[in-house]
Amino acid sequence: MTEHARAVVIGGGVGGTSVAYHLAELGWRDVVLVERAALTSGSTFHSAGLVGQLRSTVTLTKMMMYGVELYRRLAAETGVDPSWHEVGSLRLASSRERYEELQRQAGWAKTFGLPLELISAREAQQRFPLMSTEGVLGAVFLPTDGWLDPSGLAQALAAGARRRGVTIRTDTRVVDVRTARGRVTGVEVEHGGDRTVIQSEVVVNAAGMFAPEIGLLAGVTVPIVPMAHEYLFTEPVEGVSPGFATMRDPDNLCYFREEVGGLCMGGYERHPAPWGLDGIPADFNGRLLAPDWPRFEEIMAGAIRRVPAIENAGVTRMINGPEAFTPDNEFILGESEVRGFFLAAGFCAHGIAGAGGIGRQMASWIVEGEPELDLWKMDIRRFGAQYRSRTYTLARSIENYATYYDIHYPNEERQAGRPLRLSPTYERLTALGCAFGEKSGWERPNWFESNAALGDESLRPHGWAGEHWSPAIGAEALATRRAAALFDETSFAKIEVSGAAACDFLQRLCANDLDRPVGSIVYTSMLNSRGGIECDFTVTRLAADRFFIVTGTAFGNHDLGWIRKHAPEDGGVTVADVTSARACLGLWGPAARDILAPLTTDDVSDVAFPYLSARSIAVGNVPLLALRVTYVGELGWELYPPMEYGLTLWDVLWEAGQSHGLVAGGYRAIDALRLEKGYRVWSSDITPEETPYEAGLGFAVKLDKGVDFIGREALARAKAVGPRKRLRCLVLDDPRSVALGNEPVRVGSEIVGRVTSGGYGYAVERSIAYAYLPPDVPIGSRAEVEEFGTWTGCEVAREPLYDPAGERMRA
Ligand X SMILES: Cc1cc2nc3c(=O)[nH]c(=O)nc-3n(C[C@H](O)[C@H](O)[C@H](O)COP(=O)(O)OP(=O)(O)OC[C@H]3O[C@@H](n4cnc5c(N)ncnc54)[C@H](O)[C@@H]3O)c2cc1C
Any idea which residues carry the catalytic annotation?
229, 255, 536
| Calpha distance 670→584 (Å, rounded) | 15
Q: Which of 679, 687, 792 is nearest to 740 (CA)?
A: 792
Q: How far is the CB of 155 from ligand X (least distance, A)?
A: 12
User: Which position among 9, 114, 174, 599 is part of the footprint of ligand X (CB under 6 A)?
Assistant: 174
What angle (nearest 5°) sits at the alpha carbon of residue 139, between those of residues 100 and 123? 145
Residue 380 interacts with ligand X (CB under 6 A)?
no
Residue 347 interacts with ligand X (CB under 6 A)?
yes
Interface stretch with ligand X, choices 13-21, 380-388, 554-562, 590-598 (CB under 6 A): 13-21
Q: How far is the CB of 231 from ligand X (least distance, A)?
A: 6
Looking at 320-449, list the stretches that DSSP marks H as alpha helix, in order from N- to C-terminal side.
351-368, 390-402, 426-431
Q: Which is nearer to ligand X, 14 or 526 (CB)?
A: 14
Interface stretch with ligand X, choices 5-13, 371-379, 396-404, 643-651 (CB under 6 A): 5-13
Interface stretch with ligand X, choices 8-16, 89-97, 578-586, 677-685 (CB under 6 A): 8-16
CB-based contact 137:100 (threshold 8 Å): no
Residue 273 interacts with ligand X (CB under 6 A)?
no
User: Which position among 319, 526, 635, 777 is part of the footprint of ligand X (CB under 6 A)?
Assistant: 319
Q: How far is the CB of 47 from ligand X (least distance, A)?
A: 3
Q: How far is the CB of 208 from ligand X (least distance, A)?
A: 2
Q: How far is the CB of 683 from ligand X (least distance, A)?
A: 25
Q: Which is nearer to ligand X, 214 or 575 (CB)?
A: 214
Interface stretch with ligand X, choices 101-109, 342-350, 545-553, 608-616 (CB under 6 A): 342-350
| Calpha distance 561→575 (Å, rounded) | 10
User: Which position among 5, 8, 9, 10 is part of the footprint of ligand X (CB under 6 A)?
Assistant: 10
| Calpha distance 247→127 (Å, rounded) | 9
Residue 352 interacts with ligand X (CB under 6 A)?
yes
CB-based contact 272:326 (threshold 8 Å): no
Q: Which is nearer to ligand X, 351 or 753 (CB)?
A: 351
Report the site for ligand X in 709-748 (rule: CB under 6 A): none
Q: Is the dihedral of CA 479, 482, 486, 488 positive or negative?
A: positive
Q: How far is the CB of 523 from ligand X (least distance, A)?
A: 40
Q: How far is the CB of 12 from ligand X (least distance, A)?
A: 5
| Calpha distance 34→556 (Å, rounded) | 34
Q: Which residues contact 553 (CB under 8 A, 6 or more apart)?
A: 439, 440, 442, 444, 491, 492, 493
Q: How far is the CB of 10 from ligand X (least distance, A)?
A: 5
Q: How far is the CB of 694 from ligand X (least distance, A)?
A: 33
Q: Which is nearer to ligand X, 347 or 447 (CB)?
A: 347
Q: How far is the CB of 321 from ligand X (least distance, A)?
A: 4
User: Which position among 7, 8, 13, 550 is part of the footprint of ligand X (CB under 6 A)?
Assistant: 13
Q: How far is the CB of 205 from ligand X (least distance, A)?
A: 9
CB-based contact 497:505 (threshold 8 Å): yes
Q: Which of 353, 53, 396, 38 is nearest to 227 (CA)?
A: 396
Q: Which residues contact 608 (CB under 8 A, 6 or more apart)?
A: 602
User: Which position among 351, 441, 445, 461 is part of the footprint of ligand X (CB under 6 A)?
Assistant: 351
Backbone dihedral angles phi then psi of residue 496, each to the nearest 5 degrees: -110, 130
User: Which position among 55, 350, 582, 728 is part of the footprint of ligand X (CB under 6 A)?
Assistant: 350
Report the site for ligand X in 21-40 (rule: CB under 6 A): 34-37
Interface stretch with ligand X, choices 233-241, 319-327, 403-411, 733-741 (CB under 6 A): 319-327
Residue 580 DSSP class: G
For the beta sheet containing 533-543, the strands, ordered from the edge strand earlier in sequence to the opposite edge, are: 521-527, 533-543, 546-551, 493-498, 574-577
User: Which position among 84, 108, 210, 426 is part of the footprint of ligand X (CB under 6 A)?
Assistant: 210
User: Which position among 207, 522, 573, 763 is part of the footprint of ligand X (CB under 6 A)?
Assistant: 207
Name the residue type at position 98: R
Counting beta carbons within 10 angstroms of the beta carbon of residue 615, is it exposed (0 to 12), middle (13 to 18) or buried (19 or more)?
A: middle
| Calpha distance 235→733 (Å, rounded) | 56
Report the site for ligand X in 41-100 (rule: CB under 6 A): 41-44, 46-50
Count of residues in the chain: 811
Interface stretch with ligand X, choices 178-186, 209-217, 473-481, 779-787 (CB under 6 A): 209-217
Name the residue type at position 460: R
Residue 349 interacts with ligand X (CB under 6 A)?
yes
Q: How far is the CB of 206 from ligand X (least distance, A)?
A: 6
The site for ligand X, by CB under 6 A, has a size of 42
DSSP of 728-786: EEEEESSTT----S--EEEETTEEEEEEEEEEEETTTTEEEEEEEE-TTS-TT-EEEEE
Terminal Cα-to-Cα distance of the chain (whole angstroms): 71
| Calpha distance 434→457 (Å, rounded) | 18
Q: What share of the chain is helix, strand, coil (3-state, %, to 5)?
A: 30, 30, 40
Residue 321 interacts with ligand X (CB under 6 A)?
yes
For the beta sheet containing 484-488, the strands, ordered from the edge strand earlier in sequence to the opposite edge, are: 614-619, 622-627, 636-640, 585-588, 484-488, 662-665
Report the site for ligand X in 187-206 (rule: CB under 6 A): 206
What angle (nearest 5°) sits at the alpha carbon of residue 409, between those of residues 407 and 413? 105
Instruction: Tell me, residue by residue from 125 to 164, as one string, x for binding to ligand X by CB under 6 A and - for no binding.
Output: -------------------------x--------------
Residue 686 interacts with ligand X (CB under 6 A)?
no
Say if residue 419 is preceded by a cis peptide, omega within 30 of 0: yes
Q: Which of 153, 11, 166 is nearest to 78 (CA)?
A: 153
Residue 308 DSSP class: G
| Calpha distance 577→575 (Å, rounded) | 7
Report the site for ligand X in 609-638 (rule: CB under 6 A): none
Interface stretch with ligand X, choices 9-17, 390-398, 444-452, 557-565 (CB under 6 A): 9-17
Q: What is the largest CA-CA distance in the chain?
A: 86
Q: Which is nearer to ligand X, 214 or 511 (CB)?
A: 214
Q: Enumerate the β-bridge partners of residue 613.
A: 520
Q: Which is nearer to ligand X, 71 or 210 (CB)?
A: 210
Say if residue 281 is preceded by a cis peptide, omega within 30 of 0: no
Q: How far is the CB of 353 from ligand X (least distance, A)?
A: 4
Q: Which is nearer to ligand X, 265 or 349 (CB)?
A: 349
Residue 15 interacts with ligand X (CB under 6 A)?
yes
Residue 223 interacts with ligand X (CB under 6 A)?
no
CB-based contact 344:358 (threshold 8 Å): yes
User: Which position among 16, 267, 334, 590 is part of the footprint of ligand X (CB under 6 A)?
Assistant: 16
Q: Which is nearer to ligand X, 214 or 254 (CB)?
A: 214
Q: Is the dihedral of CA 61, 66, 69, 75 positive or negative?
A: negative
User: Which position among 208, 262, 302, 359 is part of the footprint of ligand X (CB under 6 A)?
Assistant: 208
Residue 383 DSSP class: S
Residue ranges that bind ligand X, judged by CB under 6 A: 10-16, 34-37, 41-44, 46-50, 150, 173-174, 206-210, 214, 229, 231, 285, 319, 321, 323, 345, 347, 349-353
